[in-house]
Chains A and B, each alone.
Chain A
Amino acid sequence: MTAATVHTEVDHAMDHIVAGLRTDADQDRPAHYFSLFRFSHTPAGETGHVLFVCDAAAALGSVITVWTDNPRLVDVCIPRFAPGAWKDHLDAAVTREASFERSGLAVASRLSYQIVAGDWTCELTWSDLAAPIWASGPVPSGLAFRISSLMIEAASFSAVLNGEVVGGEVYPNPVWVPWVGKPLSSALIALSEVIVSESEEATA
């Protein structure tokens, strides 16, 4: 008898940090959306960061800009993790190599990223953090995977792109209702997300 269950088919391990900002409460999708991944394991053996910036960076010449410190990750990431509401724009997305510097994550405090891609800069800050929730279960998408995730809601979020503050407000995102039973903040930090194959029978 062992104390732990063991899954050997780890699919992905990552942090996934998102923020949606609305400029109008009636919008179906946020006016601006940021989706930042920090992969520590992928089936392709690639690790690093990928940031999707959607609709916030028109001045940068594309509906979607992709910032990464590992360009090989982008192709790995897009099929599973690209923001669905913007998939029609992915072919025209502009990708830039970038450096990612993370700071913070003290309790009830904030998490910040400073991202630099040549002459582009992106400063993202999630703040007023709630107590973390550990959630696990089948992935919400219905694919044959289980996920474990540590979710931290942020009551506030700010983004500064090339020195310009991105407007909009954080809002309760109803997309989470089926999975966790309530809306979660549209600014959400998911740490230590681990996805495993649901078909695998864990050993105990």
Chain B
Amino acid sequence: MNQPTPVVNTAELHPGKVLRVCNHGGLQLRHSGTETLRLYLSLYDYEYDADDGPGRVCVLRVLDEPALEVVLTDNEGLVTAFHGRRAAGGYAPLDFPVRQARFDRVFTASTARWTVTADGLDLDVEFLDLAPPTLTVGLHPTDASVDTIGVASEAESARITVNGRTIDGDLFANEGYRPWVGHAFRSALVTMSEIHVDRAGRGVVVNHDA
């Protein structure tokens, strides 16, 4: 199998199909002083998707009372594809109601904020004091058919309100990332410019000088 060999001032052209480009905000909070999860948010902000077009998908779970489990989106085709990828990765299905929503975002050098408005639901999540970014390149942590590259920034803190109610809780070290990058990531993590590429054809890197 050929391996990518950098050649000075020559690019490697990766042959796999580019599947999608997205930004991602992931936030998990535990009840203060415990290891009990209180909030889970995973927001994919797709700027490009080869099959389903741009759009957003946000999985929101508030696990205390009043409990709330919902998928918010402005493109239901993306939700169907999202569920399919979860199933292919061996994850349990998310049997949450899907609601149409409007998404707005503001990114600065040190913050990332999404506001999401659906019928009867207002979500405002902000990642604060983002650390200097790191570039990660490799096999996707949850989808073995995909190579990924992305710029990840841990947030020192985060703020989230649901229908005006602030959801407090503790951030923690998310060990789920350790097998992937060799260390935990904080449970408030923003990944920008994330590219997913089908691994089919991997090893046949196109290099015009080769």
Do A and B belong to a common assembly? yes
Binding site for B on A (CB under 8 A): 2-8, 10, 13, 40-42, 45-47, 104-107, 131-138, 140, 142, 146, 148, 150, 178-182, 191-194, 196, 202-204
A48 — nearest CB in chain B belongs to which residue? B108
Which chain A residues border B208 with CB–CB below 8 Å?
Answer: 180-182
- Contact (Cβ within 8 A) A45 B14: no
Apart from A4-B181, A140-B9: 10 A-B pairs, beta carbons within 8 A:
A5-B136, A5-B138, A10-B133, A13-B193, A105-B54, A107-B49, A107-B50, A138-B10, A191-B193, A191-B195
- Contact (Cβ within 8 A) B21 A191: yes
- Contact (Cβ within 8 A) A148 B137: yes
- Contact (Cβ within 8 A) A134 B13: yes
Closest approach, in angstroms, between the C-beta of A164 and any C-beta of chain B? 29
- Contact (Cβ within 8 A) A180 B109: no
Which chain B residues border A192 with CB–CB below 8 Å?
Answer: 21, 149, 192-195
What band does the interface of chain B fall in when counting residues whose beta carbon is under 8 Å from A?
Answer: 35 or more
For A13, give its contact among B16, B21, B151 (CB under 8 Å).
B151
Residue among A4, A41, A42 with the most chain B CB within 10 A? A4
A198 — nearest CB in chain B belongs to which residue? B6
Closest approach, in angstroms, between the C-beta of A113 and any C-beta of chain B? 13
Which chain B residues border A131 with CB–CB below 8 Å?
Answer: 17-18, 50
Q: With A3-B138, A41-B109 as known contacts, state yes or no: A194 contacts B10, CB within 8 Å.
A: no
Closest approach, in angstroms, between the C-beta of A24 and any C-beta of chain B? 29
Closest approach, in angstroms, between the C-beta of A129 and any C-beta of chain B? 10
In the bound complex, how far is the Cα of B8 from the Cα of A132, in angstroms?
23
Closest approach, in angstroms, between the C-beta of A96 and any C-beta of chain B? 21
Interface: B51 (CB within 8 A) = yes
Interface: B180 (CB within 8 A) = yes
For A107, give its contact among B13, B53, B209 (CB under 8 Å).
B53
In the bound complex, how far is the Cα of B180 from the Cα of A127, in angstroms?
37
In the bound complex, how far is the Cα of B9 from the Cα of A142, in angstroms?
6
Which chain B residues border A13 with CB–CB below 8 Å?
Answer: 133, 151, 192-193
For A148, give its contact among B16, B17, B50, B149 (CB under 8 Å).
B149
Which chain B residues border A3 with CB–CB below 8 Å?
Answer: 138-139, 141, 179-180
- Contact (Cβ within 8 A) B9 A191: no
For A134, give its contact among B14, B132, B180 (CB under 8 Å).
B14
A14 — nearest CB in chain B belongs to which residue? B193
In the bound complex, how far is the Cα of B18 from the Cα of A62, in angstroms?
39
For B51, give its contact among A4, A107, A148, A191 (CB under 8 Å).
A107
Q: With A133-B18, A150-B21 as known contacts, state yes or no: A4 contacts B107, CB within 8 Å.
A: no
Closest approach, in angstroms, between the C-beta of B18 and any C-beta of chain A? 4
A-B pairs with beta carbons under 8 Å apart, 15 shown: A2-B180, A5-B138, A8-B135, A45-B110, A107-B51, A131-B50, A137-B6, A137-B7, A137-B10, A138-B8, A179-B11, A191-B48, A192-B193, A192-B194, A194-B149
- Contact (Cβ within 8 A) A4 B138: yes
In the bound complex, how far is the Cα of B198 from the Cα of A131, in angstroms?
13
Which chain B residues border A40 with CB–CB below 8 Å?
Answer: 107, 151, 192-193
Q: With A3-B179, A181-B208, A203-B182 as known contacts, state yes or no: A134 contacts B136, CB within 8 Å.
A: no
In the bound complex, how far is the Cα of B196 from the Cα of A132, in angstroms?
11
- Contact (Cβ within 8 A) A135 B137: no
- Contact (Cβ within 8 A) A8 B134: yes
- Contact (Cβ within 8 A) A41 B6: no
Interface: B64 (CB within 8 A) = no
Closest approach, in angstroms, between the C-beta of A140 and any C-beta of chain B? 6
- Contact (Cβ within 8 A) B13 A180: yes
1/0 per residue B119-159: CB within 8 Å of A?
A: 00000000000001111111101000000010100000000
